[in-house]
Amino acid sequence: MTGILGAYRGDFGRVTYLDITRPIATHAHPHIHMLFKVSGADRSMQVENSAIELHRSNWILVNPWQRHFDIPEQCQAPTQMLALYIEKDWCRQRMDWPSFAGSECAITAGMRIRVDLLARMLGRGANVDGNWVEQMVSSIMCEAARLASAHDSERAAMDFRIRRALPALRVRTKGGPDFEAVARSVGMSRSRFFEQFRNSMGIAPNMYVDALLIERAISLLGEDKPIDDIAETLGFSAQSSFTRFFKERVGFPPSSLRQAPQFSQMAQ
C-alpha cells in the first residue's frame, strides 16, 4: 500500500516523503508542486498533455491547478519520492517565481544532496528543526527557479463570471456544490460554465472543488480531532466515504497522513 515515510508542514506549505506503490489518479493542487525520486523504480507521469519519466537525475514541476496523474502501466513498482507542495505567496515573497509549463529539469549535485538529506531526516521519525526544513526547501526552490526554463504558460484571462463563481465553490455543502445553480447565479448554462471554467482554470469545476476539499482535510488531519468527526465536518455521510475519497486522490488513507512523523509539527 502507498504510505508516508515522513512529512512536515510549515509556513512554506508541506513536504512529504512517500512510498508510492500504486498509480495516483488525475488530480490538481493549488500549490507549486515539485517531485523528486529518492529511490526505487522510475515513474512515468502525465502533466497536462506531456508524459514525463521521473528518475534520479531529474525533477518534475507542476504549476498550481495543472492536472497530473501516474501512467498506470508504467507505475507498477514502488517508488520512494519526495513531494513539495509550496504556497504561492510564500514563494513570491522570496523569489520572482514565474509560471512554467509542467516540465522536467536535470537535477544538480547540490539539489540532489538537499533532497536526499531532507528525505532521510523526515524518514527517521525524530524531531527536526522547522527552521532547518524551511531553509532546505527555500534553497531547493531557489535552485529550481534558476534551472527551469520560463515561457508563457499563462491561462487565458479569467472570465469575470468564473471569478464571481469561485467563492460559491469554496463552500463545502453535503453532497457538494450544485454546479447548475452556481452557473445560473452568474448567468451561464451548466455546459457553458464548465467550458469557461476549464478555459480559465485549466481544470473542471469538480476537480477544483475536490482539490480544495483535500487541502481542507489535510489541514484538519493535523488537529487532534477524530477522523469520523472530520468526515462529518467536510460533509461526508460516513467515514468510509471520506477515506475512499481521500485515498483515490492522494494515494493513501487519511490515517496514514496523521500517523506520519512530523506532520502535526508547525515550523517555529
Q: What is the pLDDT of residues 119-176, one digit of tens each?
A: 988 888 667 788 888 888 988 888 887 776 543 344 456 788 998 898 888 876 666 7
Identify which has the larger pLDDT, 264 or 16.
Answer: 16
Identify which has the larger pLDDT, 256 or 30.
Answer: 30
What is the spatial distance between Cα 209 and Cα 212, in angstroms, rounded to a whole number? Answer: 5
| Parts of the chain belonging to CATH 2.60.120.10 | 3-147
Indicate the residue type of 142.
C
Q: Is the dihedral of CA 215, 260, 245, 38 positive or negative?
A: positive
Identify which has the larger pLDDT, 98 or 132.
Answer: 132
Whether pLDDT at 267 is above 50? no
What is the spatial distance between Cα 23 and Cα 257, in angstroms, rounded to a whole number? Answer: 18
The answer to whether 213 and 234 have CB atoms below 8 angstroms apart is yes
Please write the tens of the pLDDT for every residue from 3-55.
888 888 888 999 999 999 888 888 998 998 999 999 999 999 998 888 889 99
- In this structure, CATH architecture of domain 160-259: Orthogonal Bundle (1.10)
The answer to whether 56 and 69 have CB atoms below 8 angstroms apart is no
What pLDDT is stored for residue 4 in this prediction? 85
Q: Is residue 106 classed exposed, middle or buried when 0-12, 13-18 and 19+ CB atoms within 10 A define those classes?
A: exposed
What pLDDT is stored for residue 97 in this prediction? 62
| Parts of the chain belonging to CATH 1.10.10.60 | 160-259
Here the cell at position 149 is 526554463
Nearest of 135, 140, 130, 118 to residue 34 by alpha carbon: 140
**Percent of the chain residues topping a pLDDT of 90:** 26
- Local structure of 143: helix, strand or coil: helix
Here the cell at position 173 is 455543502
Query: Does the domain spanning 3-147 belong to CATH 3.40.50.300?
Result: no
What is the spatial distance between Cα 111 and Cα 76, in angstroms, rounded to a whole number? Answer: 27
pTM of the model: 0.73
How many Cα atoms are found within 13 Å in the side-chain-facing hemisphere of 176? 13
Q: Is residue 41 classed exposed, middle or buried when 0-12, 13-18 and 19+ CB atoms within 10 A define those classes?
A: middle
Q: Which helix (H) or strand (E) covers residue 164, if one does? A: helix 160-169
